Chain A
């Protein structure tokens, strides 16, 4: 049995003129114990999808199940079994850290003590502030408390909506280590993120954009499908180099990627030598030109442009 299934789910919101389509007809499955990532920018429909799967919103069309239960018929039972951490901080700001956690444990007829093992790794990091009101915590601490509260009833499926948005690179890394540990305890995790680099930390990912799933696969599977040779190009004056490359007839795409530009040629037989010569004629120097493996971000952009074309 799959931990999550979505079958032809569609959701629109009324708007002046024509309704806004939040989710086109989408389908996917998440296996038991999987760490499944929903990767996409703001406005892709990630939150809408989470709200449907956690039974907080009804889809216009389609069916979905969580832990084998139907999201419409069995919503009460699903709510007992899932943990949900919304993107927006949703705990009680006037209760202390400890009171919030106790409150959520009590709601699910359990206690902090009973499931302490599950939240221990996370909770010890905020335990010294347990008397502080949740509203007075810093962003990172709020996030850890929210995760503890979503876990305290030992859910079988955990839904995390953009837990790392606005979080710095170091804290993001630490958060993903926590997720891996939780997965090790048998919990299925569905997590959304706008950060493409986090895709590689998931077992499988869905790449979403404007309510559509562009691809679903393991990170490696997605990268393997890139289908073109990707070149890393460096020279002096990187910004001018980007503009020059984009002007060239042989170049299909050129995107800046930190210290290098990622370039795809229109024709696989196009020679980087020719391109290099022409760039040298334009006065560029200190070239580094070599083929590299595509990243999820390269794939995401390729899928975006092939859809829009």
Chain B
């Protein structure tokens, strides 16, 4: 099977007044790909990601996500993607089971599907014993892994991960990437942002945004060659230093 494009972005632009947050970006993401979305603070990543998730309309350009048009079918996009951010994902005052039940309901799963998915997830994450514990009582690392699984409850085609490993301990950070690899090997497309440059190396392809534009796009190997850098940190430094639009 030739890889299907699950995200297709063409000349996408978003302006706020006279400020161009996202400036004419074009790229595709294939099914099952781990796509790293990098950029300095203020480069326009969040704005671009909000558009791709159907949360904000572009000023101009075209994009389709999971087979749906950004302008016409934003609601269908929301049903077909998963989203997880470092800042918010689970309700801390609900138990593990209640969170799964809640998100299952939001994503429109049947009771039977919710039951099946919960069992599968609790086994995979070894959370069986904690099923009736409040989420806030779980160590952060477990919470992050659970957030990821919850974002995957409805078997979305694409999962958007916004700095999923920020503040996480180094072992859990690596376990988290194992979850990413497993999801990708099952055909889920993973769209991920990170400030950890070692994690950029784990992506199939990486894009780097500078001043609202996508200034680099390719596999880590290609980018390192193109910028004569020994690692992705080196590639990132070269590009981000060029930025004229500073976050401060």
The chain A residues found within 8 Å of chain B, CB to CB, are: 15, 40-43, 125-126, 129, 137-144, 165-173, 194, 196, 209-210, 239, 255-259, 297, 300-301, 304-305
Q: Are B171 and A301 in contact (CB under 8 A)?
A: yes
Contact call A125/B248, Cβ cutoff below 8 A: yes
Q: With A and B bound together, what is the CA distance between A144 and B199 in angstroms?
A: 27
C-alpha spacing A304/B214, complex, angstroms: 39
By the criterion CB–CB under 8 Å, are A170 and B170 in contact? no
Given known A43-B139, A259-B201, contact A169–B247 (CB-CB < 8 A): no
A-B pairs with the 8 shortest C-beta distances? A141-B248, A258-B198, A140-B248, A41-B169, A140-B247, A42-B167, A170-B240, A258-B201
Q: Note all chain A residues with C-beta closer than 8 A to B174.
A: 255-256
Cβ of B202 under 8 Å from chain A: yes
Say which residue of A126, A255, A300 sits within 8 Å of B248 (CB atoms): A126
B202 CB contacts on chain A under 8 angstroms? 256, 258
Interface of B with A (CB < 8 Å)? Answer: 39-42, 86, 137, 139-141, 163, 166-172, 174, 177, 181, 195, 197-202, 220, 231-233, 236-237, 240-241, 246-248
B residues near A125, Cβ cutoff 8 Å: 248
Query: Do B247 and A258 touch across chains, with their CB atoms under 8 A apart?
Result: no
Residues from chain B with Cβ under 8 Å of A137 in the complex: 248
Report if A138-B42 is in contact (Cβ < 8 Å); known contacts: A41-B140, A170-B240, A171-B247: yes
The answer to whether A300 and B195 have CB atoms under 8 Å apart is: no
Of the candidates A15, A42, A139, the one whose C-beta lies within 8 Å of that of B140 is: A42
- CB neighbours (8 Å) of A304 from chain B are 169-171
Partner of A140, one of B41, B137, B231: B41
Write out the residue numbers on chain B whose beta carbons fall within 8 Å of the beta carbon of A196: 170
Q: How far, in whole Å, are A68 and B42 apart by their CA atoms in the complex?
A: 42
CB distance from B195 to the nearest CB of A (A): 6
- Whether A169 lies near B169 (C-beta < 8 A) is no
Q: Which residues of B contact A129 (CB under 8 A)?
A: 248
Given A126-B248, A258-B199, 12 new contacts (CB under 8 A): A129-B248, A139-B42, A166-B86, A167-B195, A168-B41, A169-B236, A173-B237, A255-B174, A256-B174, A258-B231, A259-B231, A301-B171
Contact with B40, one of A43, A171, A259 (Cβ below 8 angstroms): A171
- The distance from the CB of B187 to the nearest CB of chain A, in whole angstroms, is 16
Q: A144-B248, A259-B201 are in contact. Are A165 and B240 (CB under 8 A)?
A: no
Residue pair B241, A143 in contact (C-beta under 8 Å): no
| Complex alpha-carbon distance, A72 and B40, angstroms | 42
**Cβ contact within 8 Å between B171 and A305:** yes
Instruction: Report whether A43 and B42 are in contact in the complex, using a CB–CB cutoff of 8 Å.
Output: no
Report the Cα distance A104→B247, complex, angstroms.
24
Report whether A166 and B201 are in contact in the complex, using a CB–CB cutoff of 8 Å.
no
Whether the pair A138, B168 counts as a contact (CB closer than 8 A) is no
Task: Report which residue of B198, B232, B236, B247 has the largest number of chain A beta carbons within 10 angstroms of its beta carbon.
Answer: B247
Chain A residues with CB below 8 A from B169, complex form: 40-41, 209, 300, 304
Contacts of A259 in B (CB 8 A): 201, 220, 231
In angstroms, how far is the closest chain A Cβ from the Cβ of B198?
4
11 contacts between A and B (CB under 8 A): A41-B167, A129-B248, A137-B248, A139-B41, A139-B42, A143-B248, A169-B195, A169-B240, A171-B40, A258-B198, A300-B170
Residue of B with least CB distance to A41: B169
Complex-state Cα separation, A171 to B236, whole angstroms? 12
B39 shortest CB reach to chain A, Å = 7
* Complex-state Cα separation, A40 to B42, whole angstroms: 26
